[in-house]
Structure formats: structure tokens, C-alpha cells
Amino acid sequence: MLSQVCRSGSQSFTQRLLPWVQPTILSRSRRVQPSAIRHVRSWSNIPFITVPLSRTHGKSFAHRSELKHAKRIVVKLGSAVVTRGDECGLALGRLASIVEQVSVLQNQGREMMLVTSGAVAFGKQRLRHEILLSQSVRQALHSGQNHLKEMAIPVLEARACAAAGQSGLMALYEAMFTQYSICAAQILVTNLDFHDEQKRRNLNGTLHELLRMNIVPIVNTNDAVVPPAEPNSDLQGVISVKDNDSLAARLAVEMKTDLLIVLSDVEGLFDSPPGSDDAKLIDIFYPGDQQSVTFGTKSRVGMGGMEAKVKAALWALQGGTSVVIANGTHPKVSGHVITDIVEGKKVGTFFSEVKPAGPTVEQQGEMARSGGRMLATLEPEQRAEIIHHLADLLTDQRDEILLANKKDLEEAEGRLATPLLKRLSLSTSKLNSLAIGLRQIAASSQDSVGRVLRRTRIAKDLELEQVTVPIGVLLVIFESRPDCLPQVAALAIASGNGLLLKGGKEASHSNRILHLLTQEALSIHGVKEAVQLVNTREEVEDLCRLDRMIDLIIPRGSSQLVRDIQKAAKGIPVMGHSEGICHMYVDSEASVDKVTRLVRDSKCEYPAACNALETLLIHRDLLRTPLFDQIIDMLRVEQVKIHAGPKFASYLTFSPSEVKSLRTEYGDLELCIEVVDSVQDAIDHIHKYGSSHTDVIVTENEKTAEFFLQHVDSACVFWNASTRFSDGYRFGLGAEVGISTSRIHARGPVGLEGLLTTKWLLRGQDHVVSDFSEHGSLKYLHENLAIPQRNTN
């Protein structure tokens, strides 16, 4: 039953790899134990991480995020994963990637086991080759080469193929695992090995001993001798081993495994057959949900189909093992599917016994979609009434809001940097400002959705209109900014958009009460579900994959957050800016009285803001002048740390610390100072090192100022004004969902207008295109018509 395969079995192969393998073997023998600190190495594109692993088996994991604690893992490779598309031979590249991932997890201190198919396919390839070779020799002797193409390959019996393929399959696994200095062992089983108590104990003992010796057991049904599966042969709650799905489930429960990963050729479990129009991937499957699923046909190869996998998964789940069914064949994900699952990413279908208290994020997305559509059908006055009511609640419920915010601040003390704590903090004045901004939004919402932008008479009785409509469902992700929630909610309400909000956990208490107040305001017109707060354990990366539910992602937070979201978004546009590197150029003709006020306000008023000054460009002629000295003295009084640019440092005998990068967003009381020779030099510097956010010129020369305004290619360009004016509220937009540096749709502070798109309405009287052909009866007019004025009082 047991055939152990170790490195000693392929000395020549190992010796060829010895210069590379030996250091790996040494590191394995000295491997840090699971309880040790986190350590990172890199053998491949997947990092080697030793993580603390400790878990008492008994109950399955309730959430995906807990899967990273799995100590003992079974990976089941379906026939469709292991074999090629022609079902004759193995998918070697895919198999190598799977072995790499299993090796990485094994070398993290986990105990990995493989249940693999592939022996029949490998044997079929081998036997077909032998038959063709034999037939070609015989026919060449008797009939000549002209008849070779007429050879027929007989139907190959599966047991014979399995017998011929087992040794080759195991030799392949041996060669692959040896590259990671991992020993593997083959175990062939049948149903009898589980039903016979003595054999079951022997199997259990063998597997535990292999795991103790850090060997990866590779288990398969012994297809060379296995009898045909008997229908309905499960006895008294014990699953019968009919195929590798049931084998994997039985093995996982017998070995008290933490996690069973079942890899197939579909993304997971769907509520109807994959490929059908309404099929939706089920993220989490709960016992009892079978009635809501329609199963399709079996896999193109192998014994079982999805129904068999679900049955095996539920049986394993009942035995205390968590299960994930995922796609192991997709070329874009197969290289990291196993490690992604263990890291808790939303891959495939996760089987859980614990139903969440609230709706899933997919359900929240659907509620936001339907609620947003209802919101868009309300009269403008009704949407404005909702926003006015929310503004009143912010002031009426001030004490409750500040109490919740105090809890957040107390829990964040010592964990968050000072700039983030400032963003997290709410105050009476902030709430009053929020209420004023919301009332501005309410006033501007009167003429937003459904506004006619263009009217054209195409032909007689055929008129075309272009009107404003909501974008759809917005996902706004924000960090440490609870005041962002009512602002964004009001803009979504005014524009008729559904809204998903994902706030940072550091502001959970504040966000919860602000969301409750938002839903209370929405309830006055029956659209409570239009704004949803995501409180589940969804990772931001997982949310960014919901391309069927989300139409636009708007990140509000650090530059790193924005970059991560832009990288993670799959097919969903992202509105925002990754950095706020704002410049101020002090021209040679700048006013002494204005410069220090503008620099102080831009840098010191709120240094953590994205519109705070980060780089001060000084005209060369101003060095060693009273104006320059006043700027430096003011920055010293405000305790601003100065970083010298390369040119500025060259003018100084004892300079401040030279800047590491001219593309730095400090977000604190730090400032880079650099010297330029002219306004054109300043513009060139901004284009090279800026982020197209907000840039300012300080000068009394109108011609120079206009040159700067016209030539700087940024979202906001100012003359003699603080960078801090780059804000939706200060622009009179009421509030903003963010500042965009994109070059399409919306740019700069994005208020109500930036959350609208358009659609075309054509009204005709039995018009067809053929009537406008060369010999038709109608001609195009294309006349511009007057746009009706809406009453916004």
C-alpha cells in the first residue's frame, strides 16, 4: 500500500541540482519552528514565510480570514486540473505551479497532503505511444509506410491505464518536489482500506508518521484494482470512497485536517450550471443551501461532478474540516490559487457552518443597486429633503456622534500616527461644517439627475435628448475619516447613486452611528437600502473584484491605499489620485506680505491633507534676500522640518538634510525647498516631479501668472492663493467624494457633477433608417433645439 519516494531514489537528478539544492537542504534542517517569529525567504515568485500555526481541531473555520491559521491541509487535484485538454497526458506547467505552492506552504511549517488524479491519463498517453509504436513496426514490415495512417487505436481499459501510469506520475512528482528539497511518499488506497478497521488504523498511522517526518503524502485511489462504484453506498453517515472527491473528504476527516482545498476546472460553486445566463458564483455555501443550486453535467474527465464535490465538501465540513472549491486550471490564477486561499482571499466557494448575522457584501451590492434606482426616480425635492434631514441629524445627535468618536480615539491612541489621529477626530465645529456642506449639496441637487444637456431634431417628429443620469453603484473606501461618510452619502443621494461604504476599522464606532443616521434620513422616502456600510471581513482587494456590482471605486485615504486599489481593481474604473505632491512657486516678483501667509497656510494649516504644500520652489534671485529669510524664519517657528533639493543644497555651506526624492508626499510638518531659474524651470519641475494635483504661483506679474496658469498641466492651478483651496466645500460644491487627477470624466475636486453620466433619449413615430437612404422619403435635419429650463425654486 505504501511506496515511499525520497530524494535518494533519483541521485543523478539531485546531483545535477546539487549546487542549488544544498543551501536549501541546509535551511530546511535549520527551519524556524512554527512558534518562532515571522521570517521571509524567497525561492520563487511566492515568498517563503514561517508563520505561527497552532490550532485545536474540532470546529471548522467560520471565516475565510481564519484560513491562514490552517496547520494541516489536504489539496485535491481533479482530473481536469492534472490532465491536458486532450485527456491524454499531464498538464506539466500547471502541475509544476501547484507543486511549488504546496512546497511553499510545507516549508512554512504546515502539514500538506495531496490527493491526486492523473494516473489514468498518464498511463493512457504511455500505452497509446506503445501501441502506436508496436503497430507501426508490424505494419511497416507487412504493408509498407503507406498504410500507417490507417492504424486504429483500440479503446484502452482504465485499470490498465492506471497500472501503467502510476509509476510515471509518481516519478514526476518526485522530480518536482525534489527541487524544493521536499520528500514525497505515494499511498494507494481502496474503499476497503477505510472499511477494514485494522487497515484504517495502519493507514492512519502511516500518514501521521510521514507528516511527523516532514514528508508530503501523495494519495490516490488504486484505480488498477478498484471495483466500480456502487450507487448509494454511503453507510451510516460515513462517506464511501467512490472517487477522489470522496477520498479527499474521507482522508481530511480521518486525519483531522484543518482545510480541504478541492481544485476543479470551474471557479467554484454556482447557483445554476456555469455558463448559463443567470449563473452566479456562490462565495460562501452553507449546509442546507443545496435546494437553491441546480447542478450541471460532470467534468469532462474524472469520476465525479460538482454535485459529488459538494456532497464530499459538506461531509468534510460536518467532520470539522473547512473546505474551499476553486479553479485550478485558469492560467491567470492557477499559479497562486492555493496560497491565495490559505491567505484568506476571496477565491472559489468557501463552505462554512456559520451564517453571518447580516447580509453578504454581494447582497449589499444588490440592495445598493435596487435602492439607488429607486432613489434616482424620486423628485429632486424629495432627494433634497433627505439630505436636509441628514444635516439636521448631524447637529441634533451631536453628543451621540462625539461619544462614539471618543471610543475610536481611545482605541486608536498609540496605534495611529498623529496626522491620522487628527483625521479620525470629530468635533462640534466639524459637525457644524458638515451640516452646512450638506445643505449646499441639497440646494445643488435640485437640478442634477434628469437635466437635459442637449436637444436635437433629427427629422420631423424624431427628437433626441441627452440627459444626466446616475453612474450606478459607487464603492467608496476611506481611512480614518468618519466625516467622509455623511459627505459622500449626501453626494450619492443627490446624484441618485447607490453606495457601498468601506471604512477603516479604526473609525468603526463613528462610522456605525453615522451610517445609522444616514439610513434614518433615507427612510423618510423609503430608500433606506440605497446606502450600505460594509461591516463584513471583506478585504479591499476582494471588494475590487465585484465588477458586476460596482460601477466606480473612489478611494479616500493614503497614497498607498489609492495605489493598492488601482492595482487590485479588476475592470472597475478608479477615481482618485495616488499622491498629493503640491507645489508653490515663489516668483522673483512675489509680494513679501503675501508669501509667508500663503506658505504658512498651505503647509501648516493641515499638513496631513492631500492638498497641503509639499515642495516650495524659490526663484534663484530670491536667495539671500529678506523675503527668503522671512520664509525660513516662519517655517522654523512652525517647527517645519526642511529638506533641501539638489540645487538648493549646492548654494548652502551647511544645508538641511538633502531630500531623498523630489516626489515625496510628507503628510506632516516637513517641506522640500528647491531653487529654480525661471517660471519655465518651475513648470518643468512640476511636470517632472508633481502628481497633477494642485500647484500655485505667487507673483505680482500678471503676465507671468497667466503663463503659469495656462501651461501647468494639473487638476488645480492657482495664482496667489493657498493650495488648501483645492476642496469641494471651498469650491462651493458642498462637499467632494475626492480629488481626481484623472484626465477623463472628472478632474479636481469631484462633487455632484462628477457622479453623473448621461444617456440618450430618442422619441419617434415609426421611424426606420431605410427611410433616410438615398431614395428614401425622409432627410436628416439635425437642428439644435432650445433646452427647457427647470424650476429649481
Summarised one tens digit per residue, pLDDT across range 494-532 is: 999 999 999 988 999 999 999 999 999 999 999 999 999
228-238 per-position pLDDT tens digit: 545 444 433 44
Q: Which residues pair with 652 in a beta bridge?
A: none
66, 215, 335, 577, 646 from 54: Cα distances, Å: 12, 19, 27, 41, 52
What pLDDT score does 152 carry?
56
User: pLDDT higher for 786 or 17?
Assistant: 786
Residue 177 has pLDDT above 80, yes or no: yes
DSSP letter string over 135-196?
HHHHHHHHT-GGGGGG--PPPPPHHHHHHHHHHHHHHHHHHHHHTTT--EEEEEE-THHHHS
pLDDT tens per residue, range 143-173: 555 554 455 556 677 778 778 778 888 888 9
In the chain, % of residues over pLDDT 70: 84
CA 705, 710, 712, 718: dihedral to nearest 10 degrees?
50
Residue 431 CA to residue 415 CA, distance in Å, equals 25
Q: Give mean pLDDT, residues 533-550.
A: 81
Q: What is the pLDDT of residue 322?
A: 95
Cell of 716: 488645480
Distance CA(387)–CA(439), nearest Å, equals 7
627-645 residue pLDDT tens:
999 999 999 999 999 999 9
Rounded Cα distance, 678 and 465, in Å? 49
For residue 256, give the DSSP letter: T
Query: Poorest-confidence range of 21-25, 244-248, 352-356, 717-721?
Result: 21-25
C-alpha closest to that of 486 among 380, 368, 388: 388
Average pLDDT score over residue span 10-23? 35
Q: Indicate the range of 171-185, 293-307, 681-695, 704-718 predicted with least confidence.
A: 293-307
pLDDT at 1 over 80: no
How much is the pLDDT for 542?
78
Reply yes or no on whether the pLDDT at 537 is more than 70.
no
Give the pLDDT confidence of 420-437 residue by residue, as tens digits.
Answer: 888 899 999 999 999 999
Please tell me what DSSP assigns to residue 90. Answer: B
Which of these ranges, 179-183, 231-235, 264-268, 468-472, has the smallest mean pLDDT? 231-235
- Rounded distance between C-alpha atoms, residue 459 and residue 684, angstroms: 51
**Residues 397-407: what's their mean pLDDT?**
96
Task: Map grid coordinates 510521514 to a residue.
Answer: 210
What 96-100 contacts at long range (C-beta under 8 Å, 24+ apart), as own/partner pairs, is 96/176, 97/334, 97/335, 98/263, 98/328, 98/334, 98/338, 99/173, 99/176, 99/177, 99/180, 100/44, 100/46, 100/180
Q: Write b or e for each residue in 432-469: b if 16 or more Cβ atoms lie within 10 A of its Cβ, otherwise e.
A: eebbebbbbbbebbbebbebbeebbebbeebbbbebbb
Per-residue pLDDT tens over the stretch 558-588: 777 888 888 888 789 988 776 889 999 999 9
- Residue 541: other Cβ atoms inside 10 A: 16
Q: How confident is the model at residue 306 (pLDDT cuts 50, 70, 90)?
A: confident
Under DSSP, the state recorded for 238 is B
- When mean pLDDT is compared across 19-28, 84-93, 229-238, 483-492, the lowest value belongs to 19-28
With a CB cutoff of 8 Å and minimum separation 6, the contacts of 727 are 611, 736, 749
How far is C-alpha 342 from the geometric centre of its chain's CA atoms?
16
User: Which tens digits make up the pLDDT trace of 667-688?
Assistant: 889 999 999 999 999 999 999 9
Output 596 or 556, whichever has higher pLDDT: 596
CA angle 51, 56, 58 (to 5 degrees): 135
DSSP type of residue 469:
E
Q: What is the pLDDT of residue 19?
A: 35
Least confident of 119-133, 254-268, 377-391, 556-570: 119-133
CB atoms closer than 10 angstroms to residue 19: 8
Please say if the pLDDT value at position 709 is more than 70: yes
Burial of 508 (0-12, 13-18, 19+ CB in 10 A): middle
Average pLDDT for the chain: 83
At residue 664, the pLDDT reads 92
| pLDDT score at 241 | 55
49: left (phi over 0), alpha (psi -120 to 50) or beta: beta
Is this model's pTM higher than 0.75 or not? no
Mean pLDDT of the region 718-745: 87
Length of the chain: 793
For position 35, what pLDDT does the model report? 39
User: Which DSSP symbol is given to 7?
Assistant: G
The average pLDDT across 213-229 equals 79
pLDDT of amino acid 346: 87
Alpha helices (H) along 345-413: 361-377, 380-396, 398-412
The average pLDDT across 324-333 equals: 86
Say how many C-beta atoms besides its own lie within 10 A of residue 630's C-beta.
15
Query: Of residues 226 and 414, which shows the higher confidence score?
Result: 414
* Residue 608 half-sphere exposure toward CB, CA atoms < 13 A: 15
pLDDT for residue 8 is more than 60: no
pLDDT, residue 434, reads: 93
Q: pLDDT tens across 182-213, in order?
A: 999 999 888 778 888 898 899 999 999 999 99
* pLDDT confidence band for 142 (50 / 70 / 90): low
Is residue 54 packed enough to be buried (19+ CB in 10 Å), middle (13-18) or exposed (0-12)?
exposed
Tally of CA atoms within 13 A in the half-sphere of 628 that contains its CB: 15
